[in-house]
Structure 1
Amino acid sequence: MSTNRKIKLIWDFRGIAARNTAEHHEKHLKEFIAIEQMELNITGFQHVSEMHSLAFMVIEEDQMISIRDTLKPHRAEVYQS
């Protein structure tokens, strides 16, 4: 594994279906990781409130531009493990 910083890509979902949508989106992120044979395999979802949930995946910083352009996350932050 490289020594690059890790970046957490985040997709926000809002509304009454946010919880289910975020959980389902994580499944697609796991599929993408498998298809692309990515070294990192960190994904998840978080329920922020009744009307806001998010899904995320963690990538190496040097992959950020290409994966961002492919998957179009809503935002990103430096990953703190």
Structure 2
Amino acid sequence: MRKLKLIWDFYGPDAHRIAEHHEIHLKQYIQLEHLDISITGIEDLNELHSIAFLVVNEDEMKPVRDALKPHRGQVYTN
């Protein structure tokens, strides 16, 4: 089964802090909806661009995408 990484982009000097905060909300959503999602995180792409993400199975992506409205997505590779 293919896994997809749903991504939220944050820019500016506070991007890292905002991405960390957004990940908290992603984890709250996962818990609230009783989803079987165990991979979330943040990455700093540079000092002014950070992302928050979660990884979902492709067949479960649409309801999560529609509810959370990520900025973009990509195929997840370990």
2:66 alignment partner in structure 1: 69
2:3 alignment partner in structure 1: 6
Displacement of 1:40: 2.0
Structure 2 stretches of 5 or more lacking a match? none
Displacement of 1:18: 0.4
Residue identity (%): 53
Query: C-alpha distance in 2, partners of 1:47/1:26?
Result: 13
> Does residue 30 of structure 2 align to residue 30 of structure 1?
no
Displacement of 1:9: 0.2
> Does residue 50 of structure 2 align to residue 56 of structure 1?
no
Displacement of 1:66: 1.2
Letter in 2 for 1:76: G
> Cα RMSD over matched residues?
0.8
TM-score, length-scaled by structure 1: 0.91
Letter in 2 for 1:61: E
Misfit runs of 4+, over 6 Å: none
Structure 1 stretches of 5 or more lacking a match? none
Query: C-alpha distance in 2, partners of 1:75/1:17?
Result: 20
> Does residue 12 of structure 2 align to residue 15 of structure 1?
yes
